Amino acid sequence: MIAQLTSSERQYSAVILILLLMAGIAMAALGKADALGVQGVIVLLYSGVLLAFVLSSIDKPEPSEDRQANYYDDPIKVGIVLSMVWAVFGMFMGVWVAAQLAWPNLAFDAAWSTFGRMRPAHTTGVIFGFGGNALIATSFHVVQRTSRTRLAGQLSPWFVLMGYNLFCLLAVSGYFIGITQSKEYAEAEWYADLWLVIVWVTYLVLYIRTLARRKEPHIYVANWYFMAFIVVVAMLHIVNNLAVPVSWGHAKSYTIWPGVQDAMVQWWYGHNAVAFFLTAGFLGMMYYYLPKRAGRPIFSYRLSILSFWGITFFYMWAGSHHLHYTALPHWVQNLGMTFSVMLLVPSWASAGNALLTLNGAWHKVRDDATLRFMMVAAVFYGLSTFEGSFLAIRPVNSLSHYTDWTVGHVHAGALGWVALITFGSLYTLVPALWKRERMYSAALVEVHFWLALAGTLIYVFAMWNSGIIQGLMWRTYTEDNALAYSFVDSLLAMYPYYIARAFGGLLFLLGTIVGCYNIWMTVRMAPVTAQDHADLPDRRAAPGIAPSPAE
């Protein structure tokens, strides 16, 4: 990890960690008995462990002079490992909370293990832990390869990665001890939010500086999506999390937004977290790893540009479809609905672009489970964006909202699209990064693929059924114009589906564990030893392009 840092960079990192350690002490001192004190201890331990690591290897040999001649892959490797660790944790929490809905006594009469506290641990674990680390790792990889330049910082990639994981750790540990803002997908409290702003600005600066150093004349479209992901998530995060803490010694804060404005801001955030965290960033992955793995260029580059701006522009309007028939003014609901339907155009353009790229390579899709991961992800992307536009239509939403249909929709996207494109990308990336010939076991990739697909389908079908039944039961009238079912009747009808859903989730989790094993064994394999292409610098210049003035 530290071998590529010069001794002064190692000293800087020690200084940063000491500052962080002091921040942890301050939090613990200010917080005292409040939950903030516990969070302070976590900061203290986290920075302490990293500091011990840095100090223990501070005297190791310095990197050679020509480190600029190589890509900076160490942070990517660590990011992949962290991503998979979070995946197992987050999905395990998911299976557990799903099981609790079927068998409520699985909370064991403790406070930390109740559904309400564990649910954000699941969502944060998978979205920010698994998804976020995968995005950071792949974005570092893609930006270097497509720009033909090394990352524009030695320490900052580590700061971004480790700082981001501290945020995730603070958020998730906080939920268990009762720290939450209650804003869905933005539950972390004010101090963690402030920390994330620092980390995220560093990420943005690093990314911009790396792009500015590029040797290619044009910024490849995958980077556009990663940039949109970084920039817009910063905007969303700051606006939605504006809050006044109870005191400097309290973890608790109150958002500055009241009632109806808070609802709009929250779902403007919530929906665009889906758009720019769970869609834009992963489209960036798709636009790089899918063509790379298929060995074919993207079907239409122009289409990818058009759909990029379409997604960037349209998504921002769509959040209010989460608030149909509520106290939010009607015209805002209508705008949200209209743009949600229009969103289908750029979304299907992206999905179609991915699938058409595979035209002529379908035999590879058949034989290569890694490529199949990405192909099925594109299909699920198309399906769930269609479903999303459909559910945003007011009358449809009157049935689906508040029911499991929404949960099914989210998981069609999260499992079918986000997780599958990530696994496909990681299976492409891992052998390339560790310079192995291939993954340890192609058969295990195949096993993972079928577990993941079966799990997703069982999950989504269970939730479709339960959601639609639930919605219909709530609105069914008897002949004498009374409501036909009590709420408890509708809950009773859900149990079989809740069991099926937990089973589907379990299959998906097992697939992920298989994936972890496979990646671990690949890392342990012997590297490609031959003096083949790997060690010969590619000195070809871009045709007809002058070198950029930055170098």
Residues 490-519 touching another protein, rule: CB under 8 A, are 491-492, 495, 498
**To 10 degrees, the CA torsion angle through 310, 315, 316, 319?**
160
Among 24, 336, 424, 505, binds another protein (CB under 8 A): 336
200 sits near another protein (criterion: CB under 8 A): no
Least Å from the CB of residue 317 to another protein: 4
291 sits near another protein (criterion: CB under 8 A): yes
Structure tokens at 290: 């899918």
Among 237, 321, 372, 401, binds another protein (CB under 8 A): 401
Among 5, 31, 117, 458, binds another protein (CB under 8 A): 117
478 sits near another protein (criterion: CB under 8 A): no
Q: Concatenate the DSSP letters of all residues of 471-504 into one string.
A: HHHHH-B-TTSSBSS-HHHHHHHHHHHHHHHHHH
362 sits near another protein (criterion: CB under 8 A): no
Would you call 267 helix, strand, or coil by DSSP? Answer: helix
Q: Which stretch binds another protein (CB under 8 A): 7-15, 74-82, 99-107, 423-431?
A: 99-107
543 sits near another protein (criterion: CB under 8 A): yes
Query: In the range 217-246, which residues lie near another protein by CB under 8 A?
Result: 217-222, 224, 227-228, 231-232, 235, 239, 243-246
The region that residue 247 occupies, defined by phi over 0 for left and psi between -120 and 50 for alpha, beta otherwise, is: beta
Return the number of the residue (424 or 515) whose C-beta is nearest another protein: 424
Residue 413 to residues 56, 286, 548, Cα–Cα distance (Å): 43, 14, 40
Q: Which stretch binds another protein (CB under 8 A): 49-57, 203-211, 370-378, 452-460?
A: 203-211
| Cα distance between residue 412 and residue 404, in whole Å | 12
Total of residues contacting another protein (CB under 8 A): 138
Query: In the range 426-445, which residues lie near another protein by CB under 8 A?
Result: none
**Residue listed under structure tokens 């929906």:** 271
Structure tokens at 80: 């992949």
353 sits near another protein (criterion: CB under 8 A): no
Contact letters for another protein, residues 140-179 (x by CB under 8 A): ----xxx-xxx------------------------x--xx
| Cα distance between residue 364 and residue 357, in whole Å | 12
Query: In the range 5-44, which residues lie near another protein by CB under 8 A?
Result: none
| Cα distance between residue 223 and residue 310, in whole Å | 16
Among 252, 441, 442, 523, binds another protein (CB under 8 A): 252
Q: Which stretch binds another protein (CB under 8 A): 155-163, 320-328, 416-424, 443-451?
A: 320-328
Alpha helices in 213-300 (DSSP H): 221-240, 259-272, 281-294
Query: In the range 295-314, which residues lie near another protein by CB under 8 A?
Result: 295-298, 301-302, 305-306, 309, 312-314
| Cα distance between residue 413 and residue 334, in whole Å | 24
Structure tokens at 31: 């917080």
Structure tokens at 451: 């577990």
